[in-house]
A and B are shown apart, each in its own frame.
Chain A
Amino acid sequence: MSKNSEFVKFDKVDKSYDGKVLVVKDLNLDISEGEFITMLGPSGSGKTTCLMMLAGFETPTNGEIYLDSNPISNIPPHKRGIGMVFQNYALFPHMTVYENLAFPLRVRKIAKDEIDKKVDKALSMVSLTGFENRMPGQLSGGQQQRVAVARALVFDPAVVLMDEPLGALDKNLRESMQYEIKHIHESIGVTVVYVTHDQSEALTMSNRIAVFNDGKVQQLSSPDKLYEEPVNSFVAEFIGENNTFQGEVSDISNGKCKVKLKEGEIIANPINVKSKGDKTTVSIRPERALINPSKKLDNNYKGKIEEVIYHGDHTRVRLNVLGNSEFILKVPNSSQNLDLKLGNNIDISWNSADARALDPK
């Protein structure tokens, strides 16, 4: 069976709540079957609205959403057959775990023994066998979360939507649940659309990530590409840590450009700049700038250490480089002893390919 690469399709979707502001603007997004796609963005970026439109609780103002090539704008939520995990779990507090899981099956008029089988299977999938008769209130946050996931999957939906499902859990539990959900997705191959504002969650779990801002998808790509090759300064800023320089392109040739800053000049990789005179934001990941490199790179500068913070596995160093006093370096705490003292001047270098000249802020 070939996988449908347009299993879920947002086609030129607009959404406005008040008729004045578009919260989702001209959204085009294809999700292939069995994919784990994450909608990532700050709050108010329109990602939850997209999910609600897909679930059927909101209707697009313009455009159409297709599920398996069928337009679904006029289908009410209960006929879409889409499973959903809500932010606060939305378990039915007056029903036992078993009844919660049986609910989607009972409304589909499935036979009793079939229901028992499916509920058993779903509970063992989230390792909660034996909890059938508990009430949701008697479960811990993590267990409630698992029940919610099991309930969204128990009726074998084609697509499962998850709306910040791990937001209420503590850090350790959240991380272990991330892996658990990822494994469940891998083992049953369901299409998952996941919404979060937590970038590490998105990077850990997804096949692809759609970064939302201001009602638009800024970049849609795999986690590694998103981190390594952000296409604009918003994505670069939003995903991971980032050092930036504001400047103006003074020369552009051979896949490299020179950017003139207030103090000095750097060589960068032109991504969003076309010609001489363009304003730009140059972005460099903290781990791509090296101290005293053995091999000479094409960007070499002096920096003055302004702050040193010990983080266990690495040390964060704040430098003043080329007039930017917010330049962050992450130095691994290996056996090599660097002289990281406040006020010292050190040599730092980076490869011009890692300094991405993006759109100005």
Chain B
Amino acid sequence: MSSKSQKILTTDGIPLEESLKKAERKNKIKAFLLVAPLLLFLIITYVFPIGDMLFRSVDDRMVTNMLPKTFKAMEEWDGKELPEEEVFAAFYLDYKKLVEEKTFGKLATQLNFEKNGFKSILKKLKRKMKKFEEGNYKEQIMGVHKRWANVEYWRALKRRTPSYSYSKYLKGVDMYENEDGKIVQVPEDRRVHKILWVRTIEVAFFVTVLCFLMAYPIAHLLATLPMKYSNLLMICVLLPFWTSLLVRTASWMILLQQQGIVNDFFVWVGLVTDDNRPEMMYNKTGTYVAMTQILLPFMVLPLYSVMKTISPSLMRAGKSLGGTPFVAFWKVYFPLTIPGIGAGCLLVFILAIGYYITPALVGGASGTLISNQIAYHMKSTLDWSFASAMGLMLLTGVLAIYWIYNKLVGVDNIKLG
């Protein structure tokens, strides 16, 4: 008992500190082993594939590896005039090897992403190449198709030299790196992506606003009605949740089409004439209506969970202290629902910004969003690297919004339930 430095020992004579550490380590290992299967599952099915997909957006080693001699020969070329004979010769040798290995198709696809028309001239080259004589490949290749004599195609080829490139990201915002290495916008008539980005953000924003305006009174009613009515209302809110997204979107198609129920009703009440039915589908209107309805529960539930916790006596206190019902609402009730509003808006906005099925079905040409474009490149053009580049841009945007929100409101203040 005399000195403080004397260690406390357990009954076995081991210092207490060590024995405690040992016991804790055991617990930690146990806890880790318990979560290990899930962790492994997440890494295999989530982190790894997504990481790989995102890596594709910058990875251009395939083309680099397919045309090693060509790119080496091109190092000297300034890109102004047609390249020299040695570049043509190197390209001939590389391409010949690819034809023998039967992998030239991949090259054709990749180069076609870079510049339209590459595929056909590569195929033609493959056919004619068998009869090529040794030497003077420049003449012979240019003889296959007049595009081979167009410097634009050789420039496109040179752009694919680096193993890693951010050109897909530039393409995502309608820009490219020109011959002088400057980043410039594509011609105005070809700026498709910018329109889509703006429209995506616009749709997500207005859907969030519409959801908020509709969900607030519903959530308030849910939180204040007597139990037997609020349960019924809750089921009405949740019912869409339990219905397939496709079914709901399809029902909107039935409702909104030109010969649909809504239009019939408009004609019946005399709002519009029969031969002048408004188009409410395959445009932005359809996207707005369907997305708002589908995302509404995501706004109602966080709002409801917050409103449920607000004591009704607070509003009464506000009124008894002299506030008009509006002042009591605005100064007392509303500020207390902000955590729910924040959670609901964030949730709806993030879901809306990446929404895919609904705009694809009811959006038409003017109502599709950036995710539809991503899907198009995944499924139709098979330009996965471009799709993953746009996917990453979308993800970055969402994270940026989350960050801004955290700065403004604070994520700790969010209440999801």
Contacts and interface: CB of A to CB of B under 8 A. Distances in A.
A159 to B, nearest CB: 11
B335 A94 contact: yes
Interface stretch (B228-236, B279-287, B319-327, B392-400): B319-327
Given A86-B317, A88-B313, A103-B331, A78 B336 contact: no
Given A86-B317, A92-B317, A94-B336, A81 B311 contact: no
B404 to A, nearest CB: 22
Contact of B322 (A86, A90, A92, A155): A155
Interface in B317-376: 317-325, 327-328, 331-332, 335-336
Interface string A275-303: 00000000000000000000000000000
B321 A104 contact: yes
Interface residues of A, number: 28
A93 to B, nearest CB: 7
Given A78-B319, A81-B322, A86-B317, A107 B327 contact: yes
A107 B311 contact: no
B314 interface: yes
B324 A78 contact: yes
A90 B331 contact: no
Interface in A83-137: 83-84, 86-88, 90-94, 103-104, 107-108
Contacts of B106: none
Interface in B278-315: 311, 313-314
Contacts of A82: 320
Contacts, number: 68
A148 B198 CA distance: 51
B104 to A, nearest CB: 68
A83 B320 CA distance: 6
Contacts of B317: 84, 86, 90-92
B321 A76 contact: no
How large, as a class, is the contact surface on chain B?
Answer: 10 to 19
Nearest to B338: A94
Contacts of A83: 320-321
Given A94-B335, A103-B323, A107-B323, A77 B316 contact: yes
Contact of A57 (B316, B324, B328, B331): B316
A86 B320 CA distance: 10
A236 interface: no
Contact of A78 (B311, B322, B332): B322
Contacts of B328: 78
Given A78-B328, A103-B331, A92 B314 contact: yes
Nearest to B324: A78
Contacts of A103: 318, 321, 323, 331
Interface string A43-81: 000000000000111000000000000000000111111
A9 interface: no
A104 B322 contact: yes
A78 B314 contact: no
Contacts of A151: 321
Contacts of B318: 92, 103
Nearest to B315: A90
B316 A86 contact: yes
B313 A87 contact: yes
B87 to A, nearest CB: 71
Given A90-B311, A90-B316, A92-B314, A108 B336 contact: no
B319 A92 contact: no
A138 to B, nearest CB: 17
Contacts of B322: 78-79, 81, 104, 107-108, 155
A55 B320 contact: yes
A210 B333 CA distance: 35
B48 to A, nearest CB: 45
A103 B323 CA distance: 8
Contacts of B323: 78, 103-104, 107
A107 B319 CA distance: 10
A100 to B, nearest CB: 9
A55 B327 CA distance: 18
B325 A78 contact: yes
Contacts of B331: 103
A93 B336 contact: yes
Contact of A155 (B314, B321, B327, B332): B321
Contacts of A93: 336
Interface in A229-264: none
A90 B313 contact: yes
Contacts of A81: 322
Given A55-B320, A104-B321, A90 B314 contact: yes
A91 B136 CA distance: 91
Given A78-B328, A92-B332, A86 B321 contact: no
A57 B316 CA distance: 8
A77 B331 CA distance: 17
A94 B306 CA distance: 14
A211 B319 CA distance: 28
Contacts of B313: 86-88, 90
Contacts of A79: 322
B323 to A, nearest CB: 5
A141 to B, nearest CB: 15
A107 B321 contact: yes
Contacts of A86: 313, 316-317
A27 B335 CA distance: 40
12 contacts: A55-B320, A57-B319, A78-B319, A83-B321, A86-B317, A87-B313, A91-B317, A92-B314, A94-B336, A103-B331, A107-B324, A155-B322
Given A57-B319, A90-B311, A107-B323, 16 more contacts: A55-B316, A55-B320, A76-B325, A78-B323, A78-B327, A78-B328, A81-B322, A82-B320, A84-B317, A86-B316, A88-B313, A91-B317, A92-B317, A92-B332, A107-B321, A107-B324
Interface of A: 55-57, 76-84, 86-88, 90-94, 103-104, 107-108, 151-152, 155, 161
Closest 9 CB pairs of A and B: A104-B321, A90-B317, A90-B313, A84-B320, A77-B319, A86-B313, A107-B322, A107-B323, A78-B319
